[in-house]
Amino acid sequence: MTRMLVSVRSVDEALVAASGGADFIDLKEPSDGALGGLPVATIGAIVGALRAHGSGLPVSATIGDLPMHALDRIRAQVDAVGACGVDYVKVGIERGPEAFAVLDSLAACDWPVVPVFIADNGLDAALIAHACALDFPGIMVDTADKLAGSLFDAVPMADLRAFVAKVRASGRMAGAAGALRVAHVPLLQALAPDFAGFRSAVCVADRKTALCPERLAALAALLHGEAVVEPAAA
C-alpha cells in the first residue's frame, strides 16, 4: 500500500493532517517553491505540537530550494532543520555534475536525509544509481513546476517504474510527488511507491490555500483501499 505524505506549513495544518489520515507529515512552505522551506522556529513548533498531541507519525521537512553549487548553504540548512527533531530532512537534487558531490556530502552528514530528485527535465539514471549506493533512508522524485502538469506528465511511466524498482532494490523507501491529484490514484497504485506526497489535492483550492479535511479524508481512504464517497474533484 502506498502511504500518504501530506505537506503542511503550520501547527494547525499539521494537526489536521495527523488526524485526517496522513501517514507522513511533511513541513514546507508551498508558496515559496517546490521545496520551499519553513523558518526553523516554525519547524520546531510543529514537531513539538505533534508530539504533545501524541502523534507518532514520521515528520519530514524541506530545507528550501537551493542550487547544487551552494553546498555549504545546503549543509548548514540541513543541520538547522535536522536539529529541530524531524525524522527526515528533504533536500532537492537537480540534474548536473555538481549533484554527485552534494549526494556524497549529504550521505556523510549527521541527519537522515531524503534526496528529492527534481524531474521536470527527466531523471538521470546515473545520479539515481549513485544515490542508491549511499546511506539514505529514502529517495524521492518530484517536480518543480506545479503548473506544468503532474509528475506523470513530466516523466514516462517506464522511467518512474525503473526509479521505484532501483530505489527499492537498494533497500530504501521510494517516494513520488509532483502536483498529484485524486485522478492520479490509479496511476500511483500501478506505480506503487512506498509513499506519495500531496498538497494541492488536499487543499480547498490551490496548494497555497488551507487544507480541506474532507478532501484529506477522502484521499486517505482511496489510498488505503477504503470505499468512500469522494468530495468535489480536486
The β-bridge relationship of strands 195-198 and 3-8 is: parallel
- Look-up of cell digits 558531490: 101
90 is a catalytic site residue: yes
Residues 6+ positions from 217 with CB-CB distance below 8 Å = 20, 21, 228
Cell matching residue 174 = 521510494
Cβ pair 190, 225 in contact under 8 A: no
Q: Which of 5, 1, 3, 7 is nearest to 208 (CA)?
A: 7
Catalytic residue among 28, 146, 166, 208: 28
Backbone angles phi, psi at 8, to 5 degrees: -135, 160
208 is a catalytic site residue: no
Residues marked active site are found at 28, 90
